[in-house]
Amino acid sequence: GPVAETFRVIRGAVTEEFVRSTQGVFQFELSGDGGGTWYIDLKSKGGSAGFGKPPVTADVVMSMSSADFVKMFTDKLKPCMAFMAGNSSIKGIMMLTLSLEKML
C-alpha cells in the first residue's frame, strides 16, 4: 500500500550522514489504511525505517492518519502544518521534527 511504499522510499533516502546530523528516532502511530506502528531510526548506525516499533526508544512519536502521513512525505503537507491543523499529535522533541522536514 501507499504507506509501505512511502517507507520503501524513506529507506532509500536514509544516509549515514543524515543519521549523524539528526540523531533522532521517530515513531508513527498511523490510523486507517496501512496503519499501525512504523518507525524511522536516524540514530543507530546506518539508520533504518519500517513497520513495527523502533529498535531503540523513539524521541518523537507522531499520531496521524495514514493518508496524512503519505501526504506529508509526498510534500503535500508539512509536518508542522498537520499539527497546527490538529489532524495529528506529536510527543517528544519538536526540533527533531524540523530535521525530518529537511529529509522530506
For the segment 6-15, what is each residue's pLDDT rounded down to a tens digit? 999 999 989 9
Please report the pLDDT score of residue 97 as a whole number: 77
For every residue of 15-47, DSSP letters joined together read -HHHHHHH-EEEEEEEESTT-EEEEEEESSTT-
Reply yes or no on whether the pLDDT at 77 is more than 70: no
Say how far apart CA 32 and CA 7 lie, in whole Å: 16
**CA atoms of 96 and 99, how far apart (whole Å):** 5
Question: Residue 74's pLDDT is what?
Answer: 80
* Total-model pTM: 0.84
Which CATH number fits the domain that encloses residue 99?
3.30.1050.10
How many structural domains comprise the chain? 1
35-45 pLDDT, tens digit each: 999 999 999 99
Residue 104 has pLDDT above 70, yes or no: no
- List the grid coordinates of 87: 489532524
Query: Mean pLDDT over all residues of the chain?
Result: 87
Domain of 78, in residue numbers: 2-103
